Amino acid sequence: MRLAGAALNQTPIDWQNNLRNIQEAIQQAQDAQVELLCLPELCLTGYGCEDLFLHDWLSEAALGYLQQVRQWCTDPNMVVCVGLPVRLSGQTYNTACVIRNREVLGFAAKQFLANDGVHYEPRFFTSWRPGTTGTFSYQGEEYTIGDLVFEHLGVRFGFEICEDAWRPAADRPAGRLKPRGVQLIVNPSASHFAMSKTDVRYQLVLKGSRDYQVTYLYANLLGNEAGRITYDGEILIARNGQLIKRNQLLSFKNVDLEYADVDFSRETAVTQEITPLPTPDEYRELNQALSLALFDYLRKARSKGFVLSLSGGADSCMCAVGVAEMVRLGVQELGVEEFMRKAGNFSDDDIRVAVAQGQLPGAAPIEAAATSDAGTRVQAVSHPAEQVTGHERLTLNQQLTRRLLTCAYQGTVNSSDDTYLSAKEVAENVGAVFFSWDIDQEVKGYTHKIEQALGRELTWKTDDLTLQNIQARVRAPSIWMLANVQNCLLITTSNRSEAAVGYCTMDGDTAGSISPIAGVDKAFVKQWLVWAEAELGYPGLHRVNNLAPTAELRPLEDKQTDERDLMPYPLLNRIERLAFYERLSPQQVLERLGAEVDNVEAEQLKTYVQRFYQLWSRNQWKRERYAPSFHLDDYNLDPRSWLRFPILSGGFADELKAL
Ligand X SMILES: Nc1ncnc2c1ncn2[C@@H]1O[C@H](COP(=O)(O)OP(=O)(O)OP(=O)(O)O)[C@@H](O)[C@H]1O
Q: What are the residue numbers of the active site?
A: 41, 110, 162
* Residue 244 CB partners (closer than 8 Å, separation 6+): 237, 238, 260, 262
Order the strands of the 36-38 sheet from edge to edge: 133-138, 141-146, 103-109, 91-100, 79-88, 36-38, 2-8, 255-261
In the three-class reduction of DSSP (H, G, I as helix; E, B as strand; rest coil), residue 24 is classed as: helix
Crossing angle for the helix pair 522-531 and 282-300, to the nearest 10 degrees: 100
Q: Does 163 bind ligand GLN (CB under 6 A)?
A: yes
594: how many CB neighbours lie within 10 A of its CB? Answer: 14
Q: How far is CA 242 from CA 77, 198, 222, in A?
A: 26, 16, 24
Contact 178, 235 (CB under 8 A): no
Where does this chain bind ligand DND (CB under 6 A)?
Answer: 465, 468-469, 472, 502-506, 508-509, 551, 553, 562, 565, 618, 621, 647
Q: How far is the CB of 626 from ligand DND (least distance, A)?
A: 12
Nearer to ligand GLN, 545 or 641 (CB): 641
Nearer to ligand X, 285 or 562 (CB): 562
Query: Per the annotation, does 191 bind a ligand?
Result: yes
Query: Per the annotation, does 457 bind a ligand?
Result: no
Residues in region 74-93 near ligand GLN by CB under 6 A = none
In the three-class reduction of DSSP (H, G, I as helix; E, B as strand; rest coil), residue 651 is classed as: coil
Q: Which does 303 bind (CB under 5 to 8 A by kind): ligand GLN, ligand X, ligand DND, none?
A: none
Q: Does 114 bind ligand GLN (CB under 6 A)?
A: yes
> Alpha-carbon distance 245 to 108, whole Å?
24
> Using CB under 6 A as the criterion, what x/- string covers residues 8-47 for binding ligand GLN?
---------------------------------x------
Q: How far is the CB of 571 from ligand DND (least distance, A)?
A: 17
CA 399 and chain centroid, separation:
25
Strand partners, 218: 187, 236
Size of the site for ligand X (CB under 6 A): 21
Q: Which does 506 bind (CB under 5 to 8 A by kind): ligand GLN, ligand DND, ligand X, none?
A: ligand DND
- Nearest to 618, CA basis, from 650, 644, 591: 650
Q: Which does 383 bind (CB under 5 to 8 A by kind): ligand GLN, ligand DND, ligand X, none?
A: none
Buried b (16+ CB within 10 A) or exposed e, 317-354: bbbbbbbbbbbbbbbebbebeebbebbebbeeebbebb
Q: Which does 399 bind (CB under 5 to 8 A by kind): ligand DND, ligand X, ligand GLN, none?
A: none
DSSP line for 332-353: HHH-HHHHHHHHT-S-HHHHHH
Q: Which of 206, 310, 329, 482 binds ligand X (CB under 6 A)?
A: 310
Q: Which of 224, 345, 410, 447 binds ligand X (CB under 6 A)?
A: 410
Type and span of the H or E element at 577: helix 569-580
> Using CB under 6 A as the criterion, what x/- string covers residues 264-283 for binding ligand X?
--------------------
Q: Which does 505 bind (CB under 5 to 8 A by kind): ligand GLN, ligand DND, ligand X, none?
A: ligand DND
Q: Which does 315 bind (CB under 5 to 8 A by kind): ligand X, ligand GLN, ligand DND, none?
A: ligand X
In the three-class reduction of DSSP (H, G, I as helix; E, B as strand; rest coil), residue 187 is classed as: strand
> Using CB under 6 A as the criterion, what x/- string covers residues 241-280 for binding ligand GLN?
----------------------------------------
> Alpha-carbon distance 81 to 189, whole Å?
12
Contact 636, 518 (CB under 8 A): yes
Q: Where does this chain touch ligand X (CB under 6 A) — which range of 62-70, 130-138, 403-411, 647-655? A: 403-411
Q: Does 593 bind ligand X (CB under 6 A)?
A: no
Query: Per the annotation, does 163 bind a ligand?
Result: no
Residues in region 411-430 near ligand X by CB under 6 A = 411, 415, 419
Q: Which does 502 bind (CB under 5 to 8 A by kind): ligand X, ligand DND, ligand GLN, none?
A: ligand DND
Q: Does 48 bind ligand X (CB under 6 A)?
A: no
Q: Which of 70, 87, 192, 304 binds ligand GLN (CB under 6 A)?
A: 192
Order the strands of the 433-438 sheet from edge to edge: 433-438, 405-411, 306-309, 489-491
Q: Which does 204 bind (CB under 5 to 8 A by kind): ligand GLN, ligand X, ligand DND, none?
A: none
Bridge pairing between strands 255-261 and 306-309: unpaired
DSSP line for 116-138: STT--HHHH--PPPTT-EEEEEE
Nearer to ligand DND, 345 or 468 (CB): 468
> Alpha-carbon distance 144 to 132, whole Å?
11
Q: How far is the CB of 301 from ligand X (least distance, A)?
A: 20
Residues in region 471-510 near ligand X by CB under 6 A = 475, 493, 498, 509
| DSSP structure class, residue 517 | T
Binding-site annotation, residues for L-glutamine: 191, 197
Binding-site annotation, residues for ATP: 493
Binding-site annotation, residues: 191, 197, 469, 493, 498, 622
What is the binding site for ligand X (CB under 6 A)? 309-311, 313-316, 409-411, 415, 419, 475, 493, 498, 509, 549-552, 562
